[in-house]
Amino acid sequence: MNYPLELIAPSNYVLATTEAENAPIVLAGVLLSLIVIYLASKLGGELSRMLDFPPVLGELVGGVVVGASALHLLVFPESGATASDSMLMTVLQLFDEISPEAVTSIFESQSEAVSILAELGVIVLLFEIGLESDLRELQKVGYQAAIVAVVGVVAPFVAGTAGLMLLFNVPVLPAVFAGAALTATSIGITSKVLSELGHLKSQEGQIIVGAAVIDDVLGIIVLAVVASLAKTGEVDVFNVVYLIISASAFLIGSILLGKFFNKTFVFTAELFKTRGNIVITAFIFALFMSFVANAIHLEAILGAFAAGLVLDETDKRNELDEQVIPIADILVPIFFVSVGAKVDLSVLNPVVPENRQGLILAIFLIVVAIIGKVITGWSVFGKPGINRLAIGVGMVPRGEVGLVFAGIGAASGALDKPLQAAIIIMVILTTFIAPPLLRLAFGDAPQDAVEEADAAS
Amino acid sequence: MNYPLELIAPSNYVLATTEAENAPIVLAGVLLSLIVIYLASKLGGELSRMLDFPPVLGELVGGVVVGASALHLLVFPESGATASDSMLMTVLQLFDEISPEAVTSIFESQSEAVSILAELGVIVLLFEIGLESDLRELQKVGYQAAIVAVVGVVAPFVAGTAGLMLLFNVPVLPAVFAGAALTATSIGITSKVLSELGHLKSQEGQIIVGAAVIDDVLGIIVLAVVASLAKTGEVDVFNVVYLIISASAFLIGSILLGKFFNKTFVFTAELFKTRGNIVITAFIFALFMSFVANAIHLEAILGAFAAGLVLDETDKRNELDEQVIPIADILVPIFFVSVGAKVDLSVLNPVVPENRQGLILAIFLIVVAIIGKVITGWSVFGKPGINRLAIGVGMVPRGEVGLVFAGIGAASGALDKPLQAAIIIMVILTTFIAPPLLRLAFGDAPQDAVEEADAAS
């Protein structure tokens, strides 16, 4: 019996083997990148925790250390790096002889894979934040928190954008982006610090956390609007109005539709009996919402956030929460470390004269970021004797969402390197100074019982 | 104050925006691919479960349905598909106007990202299989299981490889690959079926499970050897000996070093206090082992498997198991569905005359796969009255590792399409016939208590 020729040497054999030669090296590059990312995130996070700062800050700083600013282990072509800038590619070349053309293609393939993993990381992060934001709790805190939130979004946004345009002649688009990056208070960091200080359940603490939640939602809408502007490259009033309406309609619409989907979700998850019935069903929904948000030219993360809000209302919430945690644990650090790694802090090195403009920009952003949030305390009405300074200071820490702004702004080309570096420095500094300032503002006298703080941490 | 020109229009702005224009579409493509993958895996898995077959089989069939054989939602450039073959790209073009050059680059980028996710999926799968394989249990079952395992690896490998070369004139490399794909019994499928039949704790059940574990280890070593041969493209006796020694040394070496690393792992995981302390520490280790295995030109999955074996010996085992499950739940289906999607079953369509050779090949592989395992029952010694047929039939189902062979063989170019399709058909059929055959061999009389079956399922 003869074996047909095509079975011995199929036409795509040569192509397939050329690709196949590179595939294990691309995989090796991705594995090495992930090892670097996890080491940076864990070492940075733990060091940060030991110094009493939020771990996320350490993950970011860990990213800065392994990235374009220092070790060059993790660099990305979209920030202008080539394969020869990458220490990781140098390591890979120790194990395999790689031709010069292959080096570039391997570098780009593995960087793209890491970027997609980071994007999936931020989608999971926003899904988790959505799962953690309780719509009913929010309704309780009511108007006080809403006013603090709105002031805390409008004040730094207007002051930041206008200041950058008028004082520094920054073009509209980057100015709007940087202004928007000043808006969102970090729920995670704020509530962590409050619980550590024992003020989570105080009147001030309740308003701060409520405002931070609303603030995050507003921030994500602002992000969706600003990122879409970055795609078209110009600020068109009609477009802004369309985006604000579509982002709000998407979020409100998904919450309303969610009341119906809740039951479908629980029904489907219970119908399924194989492994991963809850988490895969939830992921199909979250990815679908992300895809829809992306398809109507909003941000994918807005969809993930909406999906989280919706599923938080179901009976499967606790089970889902538990299963999402390990998934977030392995995907989210890829995002934070990548954001840190993409920043080139050397553009702010004060020794180089031409960097000083960027430095002044960073100082300006930090000042606006702090003052724009501290004043929110004085927007609280009908609460004589409340600690207004504490509320304002409590709103200062930025964090996850601010970094999302920096990451997406840089990826879309709206933010140049000095502005991006200035935003990262702003996020790092506001988060670093918040814990000691809050201690000062509260006069170092914890009000809650210790077990409450422990329960919330 | 003037804003320096480079801050207004940085030199990489044009490049960054061109890339940025495609980036959200690539992300949309990946999101859509994942939605398709999860839907296919869950619908297929649940359907399979309802028909009393193992869910993994349904995931595979789900992949075949959405892939190159039918719906063309998930097709890959390395199997010769272009962007215009992809239904998914057609869907993306409904939402965005994409230029013809961009279409190809977007198609390739999203396919590459899905492939990398699938590779991470198989790494996590083998890590999990390693975690589930208990070295101490293995030592108990002892010689009986080891002999069944060795016979069950050698018999189908020799018969398959020799048969393909002598009867069908298949070249050495693909023949070795196809022969190797016949070796590994699926621990997951076998133990699932045994527990469903209530025979998991019987003498026969213990030997089958023990042999399946050893068998999987042998299979992974065979895979490492065969895949490395595929890279060099030729079978060189010196190389084969080197690979068998290095793969065995790697596995035994890691287990021995693991005794030391165990303590380091527990110490590190306990030192860390931030989220993900256990799972990230474990992943750093698993990825490092995978990278080392890849770097010394074995397969990355051998490293992941070794890492799982090592960490299974620690006190953190149960906690780690629990956290790895959801991660495996979202990553592993990407692998199974991709394997199914890459197969083009139309190459085995009997209506087309030139396909008949491939079909005959498939039938030959299936016959060898069944007989090669059924005879292992007669290698058991010193156990008069034991149900030899049941032991042999229990070794028949292939599964995860067989699919890993098909996937890696196709990616490396060693397997052409008809042989790859024949292997997939062999895996599907052996798994489909095992449950009814086992019922017949055991005479349909469950021995175990029902709760034991439940506890094990």
pLDDT in tens, B205-215: 878 877 887 78
pLDDT of residue A1: 37
How far is A433 from chain B, CA to nearest CA, in Å?
A: 21
- For residue B2, tell me if it sits in a domain: no
Query: Do A83 and A179 share a domain, yes or no?
Result: no
pLDDT at B258: 81
Q: What is the mean pLDDT of residues B99-104?
A: 86
The domain tally of chain B equals 2
Yes or no: say if A174 and A415 are a contact pair by the CB < 8 Å rule: yes
Angle at A191 between CA A188 and CA A197, to 5 degrees: 135
Average pLDDT, chain B: 82
- Please report which confidence band the pLDDT of residue B87 belongs to, taking 50, 70 and 90 as the band edges: very high
Structure tokens at A420: 């991006």
Question: Does A174 map to a domain?
Answer: yes
The pLDDT, as a whole number, for residue A356 is 82
Rounded-to-integer distance, Cα A21 and Cα A18, Å:
5
The rounded distance, in Å, linking the Cα atoms of A239 and A298 is 12
**Alpha carbons B357 and B258: distance in angstroms, whole number:** 48
> Which pair of structure tokens corresponds to residue B166?
């002598």
A417 Cβ under 8 Å from any chain B Cβ = yes
Residues of chain B with C-beta less than 8 angstroms from the C-beta of A41: 280
Contact B324, B46 (CB under 8 A): no
Q: What is the mean pLDDT of residues A203-219?
A: 80
Question: Which residues 139-198 of B are in CB contact (within 8 Å) with A?
Answer: 167-171
Spatial CA neighbour of B61 closest among B417, B349, B405, B337: B337
Determine the pLDDT at residue A449. 40
Q: Does a structural domain hold residue A145?
A: yes
Query: Which of B394, B12, B35 has the alpha carbon at shortest distance from B202?
Result: B394
The predicted pLDDT at position A141 comes to 63
Is A325 an 8 Å CB contact of chain B?
yes
Which chain A residue's Cα is nearest to B269?
A: A42
pLDDT digits (tens, 9 = 90+) for A401-419: 777 788 788 877 788 888 8
Write out pLDDT tens, residues B157-180. Answer: 999 999 999 999 999 888 988 999
Measured CA to CA, the distance from residue B124 to residue B334 in angstroms comes to 11
Q: What is the pLDDT of residue B237?
A: 76
Assigned domain for A7 exists? no
The domain boundary residue, chosen from A92, A114, A136: A114
Cβ–Cβ below 8 Å for A31 and B333:
no
State whether B253 and B334 are in the same domain.
yes
Within a domain: residue B51? yes
Last residue of a domain, one of B97, B114, B131: B114
Give dist(CA A114, CA A305) in Å, integer: 22
Is A120 among the domain residues?
A: no
Residues of B within 8 A of A290 (CB-CB) are 31
Same domain, A288 and A410: yes
Is pLDDT at A233 greater than 80 in this prediction? Answer: no
Of residues A27, A46, A109, nearest to B274 (C-beta): A46
Do A186 and A102 share a structural domain?
no
Residue A78: list chain B partners with CB under 8 A: 16, 19-20
pLDDT at A21 over 50: yes
Cβ-based contacts of A329 with chain B (< 8 Å): 275-276, 279-280, 323
Nearest to A115 by CA among A335, A327, A295, A359: A335
Q: Give the pLDDT confidence of A166-199 residue by residue, as tens digits.
A: 999 999 888 988 999 999 887 666 766 677 677 7
Q: Is the pLDDT of residue A19 over 80?
A: no
pLDDT band at B14 (very low <50, low <70, confident <90, very high): very low
Is residue B338 located within the same domain as residue B439? yes
DSSP label of B67: T
For residue B370, what are its two tokens? 């069944």
Reply yes or no on whether the pLDDT at B403 is more than 80: no
* CB-closest option in A6, A28, A280 to B330: A280
**Residues A205 and A263 grouped into a single domain:** yes
Instruction: Dump strand ranges (E) for B190-232.
Output: none
Look at residue B203 in the predicted model and tell me its pLDDT: 79
Task: Find which of B105, B116, B360, B412 to mutate to test the A interface (most A CBs within 10 Å of its CB).
Answer: B116
Q: Tell me: pLDDT of B47 over 60.
A: yes
CA distances from A422 to A54, A186, A359, A411, B214 (A): 20, 18, 7, 16, 57
Residues B180 and B318 in one domain: yes
Please report the pLDDT score of residue B264 as a whole number.
86
Mean pLDDT of B398-425: 80
State yes or no: pLDDT of A162 exceeds 50: yes
Q: Where is the domain boundary, A114, A148, A176? A: A114
Rounded CA-CA distance A214/A208 in Å is 10
Q: Is B267 on the interface with A (CB under 8 A)?
A: no
| B6 inside domain | no
- Whether B235 and B372 share a structural domain: yes
Residue contact A287–B38, C-beta within 8 A? yes
Closest-CA distance of chain A to residue B61, Å: 16
Q: Does B354 touch chain A (CB under 8 A)?
A: yes
**Rounded mean pLDDT of B410-439?**
82
* Helix ranges restricted to H, B296-399: 300-311, 317-342, 356-374, 388-394
Predicted pLDDT at B188:
60
Q: CB contact, 8 Å: A242 with chain B?
A: no
Q: Is A263 near chain B, with CB under 8 Å?
A: no
Question: If pLDDT is split at 50, 70 and 90, which confidence band does B15 have?
Answer: very low
Least confident window among A317-321, A381-385, B249-253: A381-385
Which of B1, B31, B131, B290 is best to mutate for the A interface (most A CBs within 10 A)? B31
A71 and A172 both lie in a single domain: no
Is there a contact between B12 and A171 if contact means CB atoms under 8 Å apart?
no
Is B300 in Cβ contact with A330 (below 8 Å)? no
Return d(Cα B317, Cα B426) in angstroms, integer.
35
Q: Output the domain CATH number for residue B413.
A: 1.20.1530.20
Which DSSP state fits B395?
T
Window B:298-317, CB contacts with A under 8 Å: 300
Q: Are residues B191 and B53 in the same domain?
A: no
Residue A450 lies in a domain: yes
Q: Using CA atoms, how far apart are residues B194 and B2, in angstroms rounded to an integer?
A: 77
pLDDT above 60: residue A445: no
DSSP B190-220: HHHHHHHHT-TTSHHHHHHHHHHHHHHHHHH
Same domain for A208 and A290, yes or no, is: yes
Q: What is the pLDDT of residue B166?
A: 95
Domain containing residue A59: 18-114
A43 vs B: CB within 8 A:
no
Answer left, alpha or beta for residue B185, where phi above 0 means left and psi between -120 and 50 means alpha: beta
Q: Are residues A52 and A161 in the same domain?
A: no
Confidence at B11, pLDDT banded by 50, 70, 90: very low
* pLDDT classification of A133: cutoffs 50, 70, 90: confident
